[in-house]
């Protein structure tokens, strides 16, 4: 195999043991693991995966909670030369099935809590050979698919010869991690990341912005299936021998408060929507006493929310922007250079350009499309040639965001270049929500746009023309039943007509204006 030898799995685990940090705690919390114990567990799981007869670059989809099986499974996939594909647990069976089929996954590791949608999703996955449940009972798989439990996989790994526990001879350019994103088109696409990308984000944002240290303890509200979450909970702490806290449950202010009191993390990661919930909640004002720094990403952090949080809890938030395609944050405020309302400055190791419609770099104070260049940029989208050509332009990544740069180098987000919007830091395709609403027999026409809430965070709002009686609650429930929960409109506004051009095309900017006027009444 040509290329510079490198394996992200061993870089994150056995390297720490080799450097004498084997007794340090890697995973804190209910099931603590030292780096030595984590390395041993990862080697066993890698051997168990090899016992399934997998080949180099085979994809393993993970649809499970943030816990030891998922954490060690992803690391084992890296180590053994397979491709980890963590997928959102919020997706429905149809959406999940599309990703499993598109990735060509031969193994799916599923959590008991997600059994129903996984069993439905794998029915049409023609290349799937193994379905593994991380609980005590195997799931129901389609004909020809072998089903087992996580415990059985680990037991099989323990019986394998020593050579099956050794890391694969991967290189910097070998596939390691595929992360699915709707990006700017609304169609799920697998961004393909190589082993070297994982090291790059650890050595750039992790070291130079966070300044992460071996004595840090990380807690992330964002889950491992997000690019943001896997960096927070895995790449950054393991890169320096720090500790991470895994939280299997859906994050709420109460659950985070519990972990803050019990485990006293020093670094906390969230999205603006969650910080708004924390401010509005009933946490004690000293809840963040052990936290030295908070991080926000996923969508712009409103300056007013940032001030309210810091005034109440006494800890600063640094806001940044990253993307699935770039693996993590590439533009950020720094702990000693925080300018509320901005996304900060380029992370060392990345170059930023703002370009006009002709491709020319714009001057400070002028809006432009945001492009980024750095070693963590994905290789492209799996099986999406046209989308790859639009987004990955040579060494540069077109983010689809519009920004403006100040004279002293701080960047401020002006919004998306297209029509995509974010809910809770997750991309939502308006057309996908519109398509679901149009399936309802009472809906004649629909447009979905983002409406800022009291903190300035966009939430999906549907503007609907009815053909038969229907209520707001009815249509929101209709969306919840057919889409991932976060994609549902937060409000439904009923109108007589949708603004359109003379040729019948929807004027989404006029829909936004209409929604804003209605909201003011």
Q: Cα separation of 134 and 82, whole Å?
A: 19
Element holding 189 (H helix, E strand): strand 189-194
pLDDT band at 270 (very low <50, low <70, confident <90, very high): very high
Fold held by 8-171:
Rossmann fold (3.40.50)
Q: How far apart are CA 292 and CA 279, in angstroms?
A: 18
Q: Which pair of tokens denotes residue 468? A: 């038969």
Nearest to 379 by CA among 139, 87, 90, 171: 171
462, β-bridge pairs = 448, 492
Question: CA 1, CA 165: separation in Å to the nearest integer?
Answer: 20
Per-residue pLDDT, 502: 55
- Name the pLDDT band for 506 (thresholds 50, 70, 90): confident
- Average pLDDT estimate for 158-169: 98
Return the pLDDT at 501.
62
Listed range (13-17, 377-381, 446-450) with the worst mean pLDDT? 446-450
Quick check: 6 and 15 in contact, CB under 8 A?
no
Helical pair 68-80 and 35-50, crossing angle rounded to 10 deg: 70
Measure the CA–CA gap between 297 and 301, rounded to whole angstroms.
Answer: 8
Q: Output the CATH code of domain 195-416.
A: 3.40.50.12780
CB 371 within 8 A of CB 353: yes
Given a cut of 90, is residue 113 above it in pLDDT?
yes
Model confidence at 184: pLDDT above 50: no
10 Å Cβ neighbour count for 162?
8
The backbone region for 365, taken as left when phi is positive above 0, alpha when psi lies in -120 to 50, beta otherwise, is left
Output the average pLDDT for the chain: 93
Q: What is the pLDDT of residue 358?
A: 96
Pull the structure tokens for residue 432: 């996908």
Confidence class for position 505, pLDDT limits 50, 70, 90 = low
Rg of the chain (C-alpha set): 23
Paired tokens of 187: 């169609």
pLDDT of residue 1: 56
Q: How far is CA 38 from CA 6, 13, 18, 113, 404, in A?
A: 19, 7, 13, 25, 44
Cβ–Cβ < 8 Å for 26, 244: yes
Please, which residues bridge with residue 130 across strands? 107, 146
Mean pLDDT of 404-424: 84
Could you check whether 195-416 and 429-520 share the same CATH topology? no
- Residues 6 or more apart in contact with residue 464 via CB below 8 angstroms: 437, 443, 445, 446, 470, 475, 492, 493, 494, 495
Average pLDDT rounded to a whole number, residues 470-497: 93
Contact 38, 147 (CB under 8 A): no
- pLDDT per position as a tens digit, 205-225: 999 999 999 999 999 999 999
Q: CA–CA separation, 104 vs 91, rounded Å?
A: 18
pTM over 0.85: yes
Q: 429-520 has which fold?
A: GMP Synthetase; Chain A, domain 3 (3.30.300)
Q: What's the pLDDT score for residue 186?
A: 58
For the chain, domain boundaries:
8-171, 195-416, 429-520
Instruction: Please report which helix (H) or strand (E) contains residue 293, including its range.
Output: strand 293-296
Angle formed at CA 73 by CA 112 and CA 40, multiple of 5 degrees: 125
What distance in Å separates the CA atoms of residue 169 and residue 79, rounded to the nearest whole number? 9
Is the confidence at residue 503, as pLDDT, over 80?
Answer: no
Q: What is the pLDDT of residue 422?
A: 76
Positive or negative CA dihedral for 96, 99, 100, 102? Answer: positive
Contact between 434 and 365 under an 8 Å Cβ cutoff? The reply is no
Strands 33-34 and 25-28: antiparallel
């Amino acid at each position: 195999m040509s290329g510079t030898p490198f394996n992200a799995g061993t870089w994150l685990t056995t390297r720490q043991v080799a450097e004498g940090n084997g007794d340090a705690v890697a995973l804190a919390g209910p099931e603590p693991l030292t780096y030595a114990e984590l390395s041993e567990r990862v080697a066993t799981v890698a051997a168990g995966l090899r016992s399934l007869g997998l080949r180099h670059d085979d994809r393993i989809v993970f649809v499970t909670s943030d816990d030891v099986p998922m954490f060690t499974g992803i690391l084992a996939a890296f180590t053994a030369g397979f491709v980890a594909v963590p997928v959102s647990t919020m997706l429905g069976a149809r959406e999940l099935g599309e990703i499993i089929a598109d990735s060509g996954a031969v193994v799916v590791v599923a959590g008991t809590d997600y059994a129903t949608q996984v069993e439905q999703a794998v029915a049409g996955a023609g290349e799937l050979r193994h379905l593994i449940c991380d609980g005590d009972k195997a799931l129901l798989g389609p004909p020809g698919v072998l089903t087992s439990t996580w415990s059985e996989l680990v037991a099989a790994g323990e019986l394998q010869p020593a050579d099956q526990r050794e890391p694969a001879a991967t290189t910097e350019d070998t596939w390691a991690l595929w992360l699915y994103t709707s990006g700017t088109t609304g169609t799920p696409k697998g961004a393909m990341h190589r082993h070297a990308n994982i090291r790059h984000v650890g050595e750039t944002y992790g070291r130079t912005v966070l300044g992460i240290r071996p004595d840090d303890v990380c807690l992330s509200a964002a889950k491992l299936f997000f690019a943001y979450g896997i960096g927070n909970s895995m790449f950054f702490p393991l890169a320096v021998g720090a500790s991470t806290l895994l939280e299997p449950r859906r994050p709420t202010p109460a659950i985070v408060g519990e972990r803050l009191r019990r485990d006293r993390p020093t670094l906390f990661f969230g999205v603006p929507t969650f910080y708004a919930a924390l401010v509005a909640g009933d946490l004690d004002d000293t809840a963040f006493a052990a936290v030295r720094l908070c991080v926000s990403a996923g969508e712009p952090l409103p300056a007013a929310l940032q001030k309210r949080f810091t005034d109440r809890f006494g800890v600063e938030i640094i806001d940044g922007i990253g993307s699935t395609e770039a693996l993590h944050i590439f533009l950020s405020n720094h702990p000693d250079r925080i300018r509320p309302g901005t996304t900060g400055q380029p992370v060392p190791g990345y170059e930023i350009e703002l370009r006009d419609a002709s491709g020319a770099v714009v001057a400070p104070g002028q809006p432009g499309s945001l492009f980024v260049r750095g070693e963590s940029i994905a290789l492209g989208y799996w099986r999406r040639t046209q989308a790859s050509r639009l987004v990955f332009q040579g060494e540069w990544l077109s983010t689809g965001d519009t920004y403006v740069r100040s004279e002293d180098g701080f960047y401020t987000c002006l919004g998306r270049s297209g029509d995509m919007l974010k809910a809770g830091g997750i991309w939502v395709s308006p057309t996908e929500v519109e398509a679901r609403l149009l399936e309802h027999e009472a809906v004649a026409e629909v447009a979905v746009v983002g409406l800022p809430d009291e903190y300035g965070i966009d939430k999906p709002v549907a503007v609907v023309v009815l053909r038969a009686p229907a209520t707001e609650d009815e249509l929101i429930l209709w969306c919840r039943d057919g889409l991932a929960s976060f994609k549902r409109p937060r409000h439904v506004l009923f109108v007589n007509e949708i603004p359109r051009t003379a040729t019948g095309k929807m004027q989404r900017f006029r829909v936004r204006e209409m929604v804003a006027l209605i909201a003011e009444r």
